[in-house]
């Protein structure tokens, strides 16, 4: 059979920017701080870092290797090596849909805040929290912003992977980084900021439970875009001469670096303003505008630029999720790119509207005890990604030929990877055991028991019917 030449990243930097763009997003700046806040701060952060640096890097190398080896996106990659694992790829596609069920809602909030920065958001710091609450619970505005954000995703992915998004990311990701540095600088010099630094860096392990570990694992996977075949898909477009371990290391360090910086930007200011750390999902949208408000006139401009950069960071992540679904439809169903994107995007319009409305109008409607937004969020973050990572580790460790892996990771022996055996044994033994323990401990102690059972049942059903997929 004749093989079509696969699309490729424009350049080495192009791939790195795309993979880092996928990783760095709302997960780092919106989600990480509030997860840390809700889970007691530094002990959570230490566990998260350990998971990211040991489990995260190893899984990322695995995903890159499988993607590049097979030159196929998640489902096809699994299927072409071992049919029994097809369902792990399908679980990834489902995860992409579920994450895209709530991610564009928050992306829409970020976009809205660009404009709100200019229209009086910062004029009265005392009501910034109320403004956020009023905004996200209303029925029209957030839905409209979500749809605009989603439309941007659809337009970008319809054009193919290595288009304008690479260029936008190249300028705006560094901008975001510089702004975070600036905010962090302001934040730590506010009077009373010390309590925030203690919260971030003085660990108190007494409050750590099974939930803390599961939350930290989920956060590590979510933030690094792992456990659902996203990096398999991106790896499938990766040139044969790239060094996989060093790319994985760079992406992981950038990603955790940005998350930590976001924490340093937010918590000192939060304590300085006398707020509680466990305020939940509104954290960045409430604390960051307050920091800018305290800067006077120039704060307005900084705030607008910050939310532009946050929107772009969100966009470079969400396009990678849409790409997972699109690549599946192209590779496995033989669809055209445009048809794939529009179909997937159409479904996401519906889930996005339901998620957004679940903050207000539809807050009374629950599934397994949670609203639509939380349903998508908890299901992916607390089960699907962890189980997806577990399946990937088992697959790579036990069902892929070790020689093939070594060949792929060392580019046919042309580059050295001294830690190959350490990596291999980590993937084969350490990660499956670690994830299993964390998942069992976490799922047992979680509040949303019926939701967890539902999630596990979904995975079971996929596994049983996978031969048909």
C-beta closer to ligand TRP: residue 121 or 228: 228
**Please, what is the minimum distance in Å from the beta carbon of residue 256 to ligand TRP?**
11
Using CB under 6 A as the binding rule, whether residue 332 contacts ligand TRP is answered as no
Stretch that binds ligand TRP, among 148-156, 271-279, 316-324, 415-423 (CB under 6 A): 316-324
Chain centroid to CA 281:
15
Residue 342 tokens, joined: 């529009």
Question: How many chain residues interact with ligand TRP (CB under 6 A)?
Answer: 16
228 binds ligand TRP (CB under 6 A): yes
Query: Measured from the CB atom, is 22 or 332 closer to ligand TRP?
Result: 22
Number of Cβ within 10 Å of residue 409's Cβ equals 24
Quote the radius of gyration of the chain (alpha carbons, Å).
Answer: 21
d(CA 7, CA 92): 21
Residues 272 and 287 sit within 8 Å (Cβ to Cβ): no
Going by the DSSP 8-state scheme, the letter that residue 370 receives in this structure is B
d(CA 466, CA 166): 35
Which CB atom, from 94 or from 396, has the smaller least distance to ligand TRP?
A: 94
Residue 180's Cβ-count burial label (10 Å; 0-12, 13-18, 19+) is buried
CB nearer to ligand TRP: give 121 or 325.
Answer: 325
Q: Which of 358, 325, 362 is nearest to 99 (CA)?
A: 325
3-state DSSP call for residue 362?
coil
Q: Does 320 bind ligand TRP (CB under 6 A)?
A: yes
Encoded tokens for 448: 């949303």
Binding of residue 326 to ligand TRP (CB under 6 A): no
Phi first, then psi, for residue 122 (nearest 5°) are: -90, -5
> Judged by CB, which is closer to ligand TRP: 173, or 385?
385
The residue range among 59-67, 225-233, 304-312, 445-453 that interacts with ligand TRP, by the rule CB under 6 A, is 225-233
Residue whose CB is nearest to ligand TRP in the complex, by number: 27
- In angstroms, rounded to a whole number, what is the distance separating the alpha carbons of residues 346 and 146? 13
How would DSSP label each residue in 98-161?
A: HHHHHHHHHHHHHHHHHHHHHTTTTT-GGGHHHHHHHHHHSSSHHHHHHHHHHHHHHHHHHH-T
Among positions 230, 288, 330, 451, the unique one binding ligand TRP when judged by CB under 6 A: 230
**Applying CB under 6 A, which of residues 14, 21, 25, 442 lies at the interface with ligand TRP?**
25
Binding of ligand TRP at residue 225 (CB under 6 A)?
yes
**Binders in 357-386 for ligand TRP, by CB under 6 A:** 385
* Residue burial 432-442, b: 16+ Cβ < 10 Å; e: rest: bebbeebbebb
Give the residue with the Cβ less far from ligand TRP, 42 or 320: 320
- Give least dist CB 222 to ligand TRP, A: 5
- The smaller minimum CB distance to ligand TRP, of residues 35 and 272, is found at 35
Nearer to ligand TRP, 122 or 438 (CB): 438
CA distance linking residue 3 with residue 379, whole number of Å: 37
For ligand TRP, the binding residue among 14, 21, 27, 277 (CB under 6 A) is 27
Interface pattern 5-24 for ligand TRP (x via CB under 6 A): -----------------xx-
Q: At its nearest, how many Å lie between ligand TRP and the CB of residue 146? A: 16
d(CA 313, CA 332): 29
Secondary-structure breakdown of the chain: helix, strand, coil percentages, each rounded to the nearest 5: 80, 0, 20
Residue with Cβ nearer ligand TRP (92 or 299): 92
Measured from the CB atom, is 34 or 424 closer to ligand TRP?
34
Determine the Cα–Cα distance for residues 229 and 234; give it in Å rounded to an integer.
9
In the bound state with ligand TRP, the residue whose beta carbon lies nearer, of 98 and 424, is: 98
Alpha-carbon distances, residue 437 vs 129, 367, 389, 444 (angstroms): 38, 27, 13, 11
CB atoms within 10 A of CB 36: 29
Give yes or no for residue 321 binding ligand TRP (CB under 6 A).
Answer: yes
153 lies in the site for ligand TRP, by CB under 6 A: no
Identify residues 380-439 at the interface with ligand TRP (CB under 6 A): 385
Identify the residue among 18, 28, 86, 394 touching ligand TRP (CB under 6 A).
28
Identify the residue whose tokens are 């001469």.
241
Positions in 238-277 near ligand TRP (CB under 6 A): none
Binding to ligand TRP by CB under 6 A, coded x per residue (else -) over 67-106, reads --------------------------------x-------
Query: Closer CB to ligand TRP, residue 22 or residue 58?
Result: 22
Which spans of this chain sit near ligand TRP (rule: CB under 6 A)?
22-23, 25-28, 99, 222-223, 225, 228, 230, 317, 320-321, 385
């Amino acid at each position: 059979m004749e093989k079509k030449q696969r699309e490729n990243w424009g350049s080495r930097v192009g791939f790195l920017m795309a993979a880092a763009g996928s990783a760095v997003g709302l997960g780092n700046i919106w989600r990480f701080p509030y997860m840390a806040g809700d889970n007691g701060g530094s002990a959570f952060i230490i566990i998260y870092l350990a998971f990211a640096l040991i489990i995260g890097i190893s899984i990322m190398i695995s995903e890159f290797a499988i993607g590049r080896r097979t030159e196929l996106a998640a489902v096809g990659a699994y299927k072409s090596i071992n049919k029994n694992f097809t369902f792990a790829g399908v679980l990834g596609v489902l995860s992409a849909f579920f994450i895209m069920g709530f991610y564009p809602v928050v992306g829409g909030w970020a976009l809205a805040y660009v404009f709100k920065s200019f229209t009086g958001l910062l004029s009265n710091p005392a009501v910034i929290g109320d403004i956020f609450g009023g905004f996200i619970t209303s029925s029209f505005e957030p839905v409209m912003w979500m749809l605009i954000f989603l439309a941007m995703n659809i337009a970008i992915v319809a054009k193919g992977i290595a288009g304008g998004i690479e260029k936008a990311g190249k300028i705006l990701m560094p901008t975001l980084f510089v702004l975070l540095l600036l905010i962090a600088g302001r934040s730590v010099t506010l009077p009373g900021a010390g309590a925030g630094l203690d919260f971030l860096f003085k660990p108190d392990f007494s409050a750590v439970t099974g939930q803390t570990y599961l939350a930290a694992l989920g956060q590590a996977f979510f933030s690094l875009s792992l456990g659902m075949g996203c990096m398999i898909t991106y790896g499938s477009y990766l040139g044969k001469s790239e060094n996989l371990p060093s790319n994985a290391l760079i992406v992981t360090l950038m990603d955790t670096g940005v998350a930590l910086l976001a924490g340093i930007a937010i918590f000192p200011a939060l304590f300085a303003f006398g707020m509680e750390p466990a305020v939940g999902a509104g954290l960045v949208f409430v604390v960051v505008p307050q920091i800018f408000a305290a800067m006077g006139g120039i704060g307005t401009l900084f705030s607008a630029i910050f939310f532009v950069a946050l929107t772009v960071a969100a966009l470079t992540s969400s396009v990678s999720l849409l790409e997972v679904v699109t690549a599946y439809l192209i590779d496995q169903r033989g669809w055209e790119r445009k048809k794939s994107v529009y179909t997937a995007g159409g479904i996401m319009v519906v889930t996005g509207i339901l998620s957004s409305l679940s903050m207000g109008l539809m807050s009374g409607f629950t599934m397994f005890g949670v609203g639509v937004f939380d349903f998508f969020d908890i299901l992916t973050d607390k089960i699907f990604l962890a189980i997806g990572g577990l399946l990937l580790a088992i697959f790579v460790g036990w069902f892929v030929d070790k020689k093939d892996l070594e060949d792929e990771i060392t580019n046919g022996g042309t580059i050295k990877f001294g830690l190959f055996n350490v990596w291999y044994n980590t993937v084969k033994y350490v990660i499956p055991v670690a994830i299993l323990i964390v998942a069992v401990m976490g799922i047992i102690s979680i509040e949303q028991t019926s939701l967890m059972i539902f999630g596990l049942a979904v995975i079971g059903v996929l596994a049983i019917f996978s031969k048909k997929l």
